Structure 1
């Protein structure tokens, strides 16, 4: 389906070119091509490659090793006798659909007669039937009908029939396909004009397109006698004879060439990176009074960026005037010379001077290599800028920063143009994406005057605008402490209202409350004094408290009321307030008898009462016991699902029932000494908790008492006996 869709687009593009009374075209290639493969058509070589950052395919067209055009995806490009279109791209297989058409040459022109035969190249043609409306041919055994005033394409033939004359065109061209290697070289210069004594440094980029690490040998295959030619690393400091590249990685090398002072004429240098052979031709001219040294001959950059080329000019004789001129640059580009920060066109030179060629690439610059030519006292030089990423067709961005007259950021300002809208953040910033062009930007916010600005943006450009908003004479903002206030039954609710005078003038404001429930009280206070009107200076704010008092018998629930503030200028703002009246959650526990007597080794029972003294039920009350170690204390029931309030609706007291009584069973160990002990019982509900204590007085049984007395008598007798015995001695 992708291929079919592409062919339809391709035919639509070609439909803009008339075929009658004009040179016809023949499709000579139509297939998917892998990234890195090369298609050779006559004198043209088409390298299919991939833009490294955007991952978009494009094709570079060479003629005699010189870049002629760079073709982007979806564009129809015509160069010489060839048309080229790049179609859909499959990232998984790294394939792009490529279609080529070639302009055939007129080979045969006849008045067709029935039975006539002739040959054109490898094709045998025979006229089967001829008429004014069409001619029927046999081509290599296939029947082909050509209608009058139309063109019919058969393989590499184009057949045009005027009604009485048949013209046969032949695309006598061979198309070769070279599969990609695992690696490729790129170096921007194939031929250079240099001066004797110059040092030339040419960047060479090696790309590993494969999925494995590569180790490549570096060699200088041929160089002029007496010349210093070496391969250095990217910094140009160290010699390199071998590189290792990870999969999908690249490396930049420097081909260093030192030209002898007495050199002249055309010289060639050949080098090898692995099995790839590179060749550079140098046209050496003798020194003409000044030397022009250009350390950087080619750079890569992104469209919309500026690049600089340092240029060193040496004067070998007396002081002389130096004239600078940019002779060649792409349309829409800007290039000029700088000395320090000053643009210059000429200057006096004595000794040596460094200047800078400053080049500005537009944001919509085409991908590929672009040449900048210039002349220094008639010495022609050129450098190149390779655009690896373009912003052509990308949306532009406008970043607006809004501030007030005091320089404070304005949050929530509305930024709009056309059908685009954005709002500033806490730093007063907002961003809008637009197509390249000219726009009117509107900045507005309540309390401020409207601001209008005109701005123009280019492809992919991000432009910053700083807007100052002027306050209106009378304007205020109203803020509340939330949209809900909770009040416990029987208490007073407080809600804070903040009035900010954002205007330029002092103003007064009246305060009102609407839809207050019947029987409720709602009044405004400032500094603990009731008010109905307040005056505020410009730039200041005051906090007013709304006191809300529900009646004692008001039922828990949700109530709505409205707060309205109106200025002297007539501007009114409101707050819709939700009042939640919540019940009081509180209960008590207390023993029915203050003390329980239990004999050691026996069980006793105590009773506790629970009473909800709040205004709302308490649910899911569970009990925890803290007792002396070894005691067994149980509470029955273990859980009370709900403990109702002591008050019915309307404040009528409810009588406690048996469901609010606890039975506490206490078993005292037999070895517990007589005495008084405390047991703490805590009830924990979902909304509240309470604790109480039971005092237990433990007594001993009579048998245990007798045994204790006997032990004391025996002990006392033993002491007296010991004293007498010791006294005799």
Structure 2
């Protein structure tokens, strides 16, 4: 028998398979050894009283929200989950009638036990009194707070009192007896269990009673009432006052035995602030004083076996809301708006809602605003919190004398802050004039700038007039728009400027002063003022001059030119001056005072004013010299001063170039084409326009069509076609060709075109052939060795 040697390929395959098995098999064993098996989670769910909660659902989620599993508690509140992997999970504990609890737990132990979970009741009863001492025949009120925090928007709650038959008990909400009520989600409200102790109750008797509130579940609160062995009663009396010694009615006074804190009796203060309590003796009692809107306080009294009447110390209750201000008195004028600052503070331990009102004299108006001016009617103050407010009061125009105004903050109780306003008529001027006396020629118009101010904080109407006007003279009052006025209405504290124009006659006597008056009368008010003004007529020479510091200027066509001018009033009379320029046709011209364009000027006597005349020739203006006059005229049109200005217009040249492309391509020995457009961006015609092309190296050539253009007018363009030819032996790469426009007057900027030259395609054919030969040789070598 002839044995053949194993094929080489089979040997290689077997070797690789053995190596793979040697590596993978141990890894599989290790992976199996270190994998963590799943585990169970167990625990218990109880209520607030420590009782196990049965049928509660425990839902388990991954932290990304994916559901894993769930479990249900047994009758004792215990639960065990299905097996889960180690890791961190979010547990939801849910039971109807209880608040849902959500907690994250990290599961890292086998049979992992969770901490005991306590589910709070959705419905709860709370009270500060669970045991009290009472006496035969006494009526007892036990205060409680009912709170619902469940998931339902509304919940029906029934009440049941479990008490001995001899106790007459009922549940009150406000003044109404209730057995069932509806409570909203998140709501809390107060109730009282009211009961009467029998007159026949014996000393030492202890009564146990329970109040049940039944909703989705039932909750309860237990109370203990004790009738002590007594040796008699004593009368406890006292007075309750506020911080201003005013008696407070309606204060609840509760007596608690100091030995066990048991409630004994309650009383309410009368209108004079007094109270009276009949308490068993001997004993020591803590008297608790409380009323809505006031800070509660306590006082201790002791009754001996011999006591018959004990007077408690006078008790002071402080209001929870305080009003304070640094200003309590202010002087004002009729029509003013007062802004009286104050701060409201909550000195209590609970959030207090405060509503605002005010007490002002009849005919006055007021409102409470915050620091931003927003009207406020109510706000909520956190414990020990405060907020700054303002009382805005509008004083009537007819007010005069002293008045009290008060701001009132009402929470559980009302507190007031009183201000005193002393009102007296205003002594402010309503008319003003900086230059009330002027001189002029006979027949001229004299203008006075008069300020009118409304000193009141309310809109006011004023009657206006000019009095004591000489015969045949005219006088008018105008506004800034030149409208004639006899009455004007101003907003609160508004001030405007009026122009009073007085025109004398040419026949009026000169070298004399004439006295006139401007009167403003507040309509329907006892406020009037007459401001005197005077006009002195003199013989005045023409004292207006005009100086041009640069009377002759050269400018390019289309550009503007500025002429600085100085106008002087060498006299002592203020003048209105008209500005005039007789510019060439189609030219633009305007006067500027600083950055403001003006057409006339009010120049005080003895003053000068610097102006600028801006002149803009049209783009098509001829190259020439132009002369034009600038004049200063009176209001009647008389030329008072003149200056002649000259503008020489010279050429404005500018040539722009733009390309159809900034990148062109060509093979070695071939041509790249593009176009260039030349534009006359100046205002003067350019002549003999052509292109100047700079090539990157010798051997390159260029052809331009057309070769040149005779002329380009302003804003005209011409396009040149450019062909750049590369040499046959050009190396592949990027080359820059510079393009520039030229004319007889000027040249453009230089712009460049990038020409990318590629190698001839014959080299590609040679490369493919060589690659084919190489592949053929490689296949032959491989085949030869394979056969071996």
TM-score range, shorter chain: under 0.3
Instruction: State the TM-score, normalizing by the size of structure 1.
Output: 0.27
Larger strand proportion, structure 1 or 2?
A: 1
Q: Whose RCO is larger (CA < 8 A, sep 6+)?
A: 1
Highest Rg: 1 or 2? 2
The TM-score normalised by the length of structure 2 is 0.25
